[in-house]
Amino acid sequence: MASTRQEIIEELRHLLETEDVAAIKDQVDHLKTQFYSVAAEEVTETDAEAGAELPETGKDEEQFKALLAEYKARKAEVAAAQAKEQAENLKKKQAILDEMKQLVDAATADGVMPNIQRMKELQAEWKATGAVAADKLQEIRKAYQQLQEQFYDLVKINIELRDLDFKKNLELKTLLCEAAEKLQQNENIVEASRMLQQLHDEWAEIGPVARELREELWERFKAASTIINKKHQAYFDELHRKEQENLEKKQAIIDRMKEIMEPIVNGVPMSVKEWEEATAKVQELQAEWRKIGFAPKKQNQSIYDAFRAECDRFYQTKKEFFRELREQRKIREQRHKEYLERQAAREQAREERRKQRIERITAGGGNLRKLRDKLVQEIKTAENNILFFTAKSKGANKIVDDMRKKIEELKARLAEIEQQMDAENNG
């Protein structure tokens, strides 16, 4: 069995190339349902990561639809040709019936032998003529059977010939009864029903049997047919029951999908972990969906579309959530970068101011010793102030931090002046 869309496309193409389009309707319907079911399965295989794009049928669907269009066109051509052929066959069989009626109306003792021979020829022509439209089949078949029976009932001469025909027809219809009874052993009830219909077609084409055996033989054939028909009906009743059960299971899965979506739709904030947990639940529901068989044909596509819509809505919402999450992360990173750049700029400006102060001191020829003593005194004062604020004040952390920064700057300036004094002494 094909497992991918491309394999389904190739299988459909192979059917169109090798099979009679009039005989592949069930296979085409199955491939069509399978094609869109495979698409649902592929959704779950590509959406595990946050923000994953949902798969689309794309070119595969275009190819598939093109093949379906080719199938429909060819089927329409076959149907048109078949309808034309059936119309011609109807004309031929109606002409045969008209002549048979003339034979029945003109049956006499003197002309019976030629009439019997001609009747056989007409019967052969009837069998050689193809099928007619279904809506005309019952009417024309009934007329054919009645004329055959009237002919043999009205002809009172040449009993031996009539009895020979009756005997031959009895043998053929008895074989059909046996074949119908044997079909009861066929476990494939769909095949058995199709073969039974073929037996009924053959029965209708065979002439009558002796009047005293007609009812008994038909009741035997009808009884065997009834058993097959009941089995066939029971099979489809069970199939429909199972399909209805599958429909209910699939609807329950859709309801559970809606329960997962309810807080999301209502705007309840969700964390990344909660999204991961919700995704796991959705994937479990998708796996459960794939294990369920077909729903009734009329609802199968609509229930699938409803499920696909819920899946699309979930993954699209999830994609938007993670997209916004990435955007927020980018904003935070940009703000942090800008903060670091501002800090670096402040530090650079502070360093520049320090250098300028030293240059001014050196250029002005100030007394380095006095400047050093002044800085030492400022440092002691600042340290005493820190002790004061630490011991006496509340909520003064900002002031203390600023004073500590100032002390560090004073100490740095002191160290530079001492280095300059050492350099002058050593010079």
Q: Using one digit for the tens of pLDDT, what is the confidence trace for 170-183?
A: 999 999 999 999 98
User: How confident is the model at residue 195, as a pLDDT?
Assistant: 92
More confident residue, 244 or 4: 244
User: How confident is the model at residue 359, as a pLDDT?
Assistant: 65
Instruction: Using the predicted structure, report yes or no on whether residue 17 has a pLDDT greater than 60.
Output: yes
**Token pair of 109 as six digits:** 């003792």
- Per-chain mean pLDDT for the chain: 81
**How does residue 61 score in pLDDT terms, banded at 50, 70 and 90?**
confident
Q: How many whole angstroms separate alpha carbon 420 and alpha carbon 369?
A: 10
The highest-confidence range among 46-60, 74-88, 207-221, 410-424, by mean pLDDT, is 207-221
Instruction: Using the predicted structure, report yes or no on whether residue 194 has a pLDDT greater than 80.
Output: yes
Terminus-to-terminus CA distance in the chain, angstroms? Answer: 98
**How does residue 48 score in pLDDT terms, banded at 50, 70 and 90?**
very low
**Mean pLDDT value of segment 312-331:** 87
User: How confident is the model at residue 361, as a pLDDT?
Assistant: 53
Q: How many whole angstroms separate alpha carbon 136 and alpha carbon 138?
A: 6
Instruction: Using the predicted structure, report yes or no on whether residue 42 has a pLDDT greater than 80.
Output: no
**Token pair of 250 as six digits:** 């699939």
User: How confident is the model at residue 211, as a pLDDT?
Assistant: 86
**How does residue 225 score in pLDDT terms, banded at 50, 70 and 90?**
very high
User: How confident is the model at residue 51, as a pLDDT?
Assistant: 46
- Predicted confidence (pLDDT) per residue in 381-424, tens digit: 877 777 766 555 555 677 777 777 878 887 888 788 777 767 66
Q: How many whole angstroms separate alpha carbon 263 and alpha carbon 278?
A: 11
User: How confident is the model at residue 232, as a pLDDT?
Assistant: 86
The CA-atom distances, in angstroms, between 265 and each of 242, 257, 262, 269 are 34, 12, 5, 10
90 within 8 A of 132, measured Cβ to Cβ: yes
Instruction: Using the predicted structure, report yes or no on whether residue 95 has a pLDDT greater than 90.
Output: yes
The three state secondary structure string of 368-399 is HHHHHHHHHHHHHHHHHHHHHHHHHCCCCHHH
Instruction: Using the predicted structure, report yes or no on whether residue 89 has a pLDDT greater than 80.
Output: yes
**How does residue 113 score in pLDDT terms, banded at 50, 70 and 90?**
low
